[in-house]
A and B are shown apart, each in its own frame.
Chain A
Amino acid sequence: MSKTFTLDGKVIPFEEGETIMEAATAAGVYIPHLCHHPEFKPHGSCKLCTVSIGGRLGAACTNRAEEGMKVESETEALNADRRSLVQMLFVEGNHVCPSCEKSGNCQLQAVGYHLGMLTPHFPHFYPARDVDASHPDMLLERNRCILCELCVRASRDVDGKNVFGIGGRGIRARLIVNAATGRLADTDFSVTDRAAEVCPTGAIIRKRYGFTVPIGKRLYDRHSIAELPPLPAKRGEGRGEG
């Protein structure tokens, strides 16, 4: 018999070494997240997947499941914290959904919908961030970057290219690229890279493919991110990467 723990009272089986997030996803239970992706090493930075593990708070994507542990996720307090985190992500960047090609397919937006966020609430920073349109096929729109490092992980661990990194600290942290000029066009980044598809927001997007799906038919228009099947581990089974 496999080992189990409980998540909001539901019995979740797990294999030795699996994280709470992995076990929950396999059991079809959604825990809100942004920097987690099943294909990549956990990052534990967005803190949206914070759950109560036997009364202590921890990230579901980095904490291993253990026999008999009691985990709580869908509590009013945790969802209120998650909503505040998403609100802070919105005011820290320039997330102008009405003019964004990713709108309707964006995970940041979808998590906001799932958590019932009606307003970013906090004072907007309106930071000055650079756009890099130098690459022929891909656009780097730093206004929409949430520093989840999925592109960093994909480029390093799957593409073997190390195109992306985070430079600066605190509020000055920003997505940088691996070229002396600082321009995306001067890296070996390609539209076929895994890193070209993993951005949860519209920060790394393919040129000339915006607004192709009408409003009402986009990924999260009718269905909450919690109802949809989890992100595929392999490319080509696509969802959430339009």
Chain B
Amino acid sequence: MSKLRVATCSIAGCFGCHMSLLDIDERLFELVKAVEFDRSPITDIKHCGPCDIGLVEGGVCNAENVHVLKEFRKNCRILVAMGSCAITGGIPAWRNNVDLWDCFQEVYHYGIGLENGQVPNDPELPLPFDKVHPINEVVRVDHFLPGCPPPADAIWRFLTDLAAGREPRLDYEMLHYD
């Protein structure tokens, strides 16, 4: 059997879901036997080719996030929203009721320990959105894997179910919104 190709990314997330993925411990050996990673912080591959499964951590907070997300949707047969931020916007969405410029002022001008801070204005920087959105408001999502982060056991169950062609099913203790 050929290996499953899996891509992962963290957009407006904290990489906590990726840490939880690594937290499957020795099952990582089983995983690498069954799975080949395409674009992912694990491989450092920058662009995604055709994949079986795409795991997206984080919500959408800027224009670059949208490009990444569209690349994932285009290339991944099954797209999974992994974690609270991808599913609800999560903690980053707390800024949705704060004016974006006020946010910048707080972060770059008035933050503790800052002197003569300036708001970065390099054309290479992605354009921030005024609101953070869950990924299913931008692309079609096939599965949702909640948790902040989803427990390692939940990620393992999800991946093994998907690899076996089953509809993923979480046990009660694996289903968490936090």
When distances are taken between beta carbons in the complex, the residues of chain B under 8 Å from A171 are none
With a cutoff of 8 Å between Cβ atoms, the chain B residues found around residue A242 in the complex are none
Question: Contact check: which of B91, B96, B178 meets A103 at CB < 8 Å?
Answer: B178
Q: Kindly identify, within residues 121 to 178 of chain B, every residue whose CB is under 8 Å from any CB belonging to chain A.
A: 131, 133-134, 136-137, 141, 143-146, 148, 170, 172-173, 175-178
By beta carbon, the residue of chain B nearest A91 is B88
Cβ A126 vs Cβ B175 within 8 A? no
Beta-carbon contact of A103 and B177 below 8 Å:
yes
The yes or no answer to A98 lying at the interface (CB within 8 A) is yes
B89 on the interface (CB 8 Å rule)? Answer: yes
Contact B177 A124 (CB under 8 A): no
Task: Jot down 20 A-B pairs with beta carbons below 8 A, ordered by A.
Answer: A94-B94, A95-B88, A96-B90, A96-B91, A96-B93, A97-B84, A98-B91, A98-B177, A99-B91, A100-B178, A113-B176, A118-B87, A118-B146, A118-B170, A118-B175, A119-B136, A119-B146, A124-B89, A124-B134, A126-B89
Besides A98-B91, A120-B87, 13 new A-B residue pairs in contact (Cβ under 8 A), listed by A number: A94-B93, A95-B88, A97-B176, A97-B178, A100-B178, A109-B177, A109-B178, A119-B144, A126-B93, A221-B173, A222-B172, A222-B173, A224-B172
Contact with B along A100-128 (1 / 0, CB 8 A): 10011000010011001011110110111
Chain A residues in 8 Å Cβ range of B177: 97-98, 103, 109, 112
Residues from chain A with Cβ under 8 Å of B2 in the complex: none
A119, B178: Cβ atoms closer than 8 Å: no
Interface residues of A (CB under 8 A from B): 90, 94-100, 103-104, 109, 112-113, 116, 118-121, 123-124, 126-128, 215, 221-224
Taking chain B's interface residues, is the majority helix, strand, or loop, or is none over half, making it mixed? mixed
CB-CB under 8 A for A119 and B172, given A98-B91, A98-B148, A126-B131: no
B81 an interface residue at 8 Å Cβ cutoff? yes
Partner-A contacts on B (CB < 8 A): 81, 84, 87-91, 93-94, 96-97, 131, 133-134, 136-137, 141, 143-146, 148, 170, 172-173, 175-178
Contacts of A97 in B (CB 8 A): 84, 148, 176-178
Q: Which A residues are CB-close (under 8 A) to B173?
A: 221-222
Q: Which residues of A contact B145 (CB under 8 A)?
A: 118
Please state if B81 and A119 are interface contacts (CB–CB under 8 Å): yes
Taking the nearest CB of chain B, how far is it from the CB of A118, in angstroms? 4
Given A96-B88, A126-B93, decide whether A113 and B175 contact each other with a Cβ distance below 8 A. yes
Which chain A positions have C-beta within 8 A of B91?
A: 96, 98-99
CA distance A126 to B93 in the complex (A): 8
Cβ of A98 and Cβ of B90 under 8 Å apart?
yes
Report the nearest A residue to B81, measured CB to CB. Answer: A119
Smallest distance from the beta carbon of A146 to chain B beta carbons, Å? 15
Smallest Cβ-Cβ distance to B85: which chain A residue: A98
- Within 8 Å CB of B84, what residues of A? 96-98
Q: How far is the CA of A194 from the CA of B132 in the complex (A)?
A: 37
In chain A, what residue has the closest Cβ to B169? A116
A95 to B134, CA, bound (A): 13
Q: How far is the CB of B27 from chain A (nearest CB, A)?
A: 20
Q: Nearest-CB distance from A121 to chain B (Å)?
A: 8
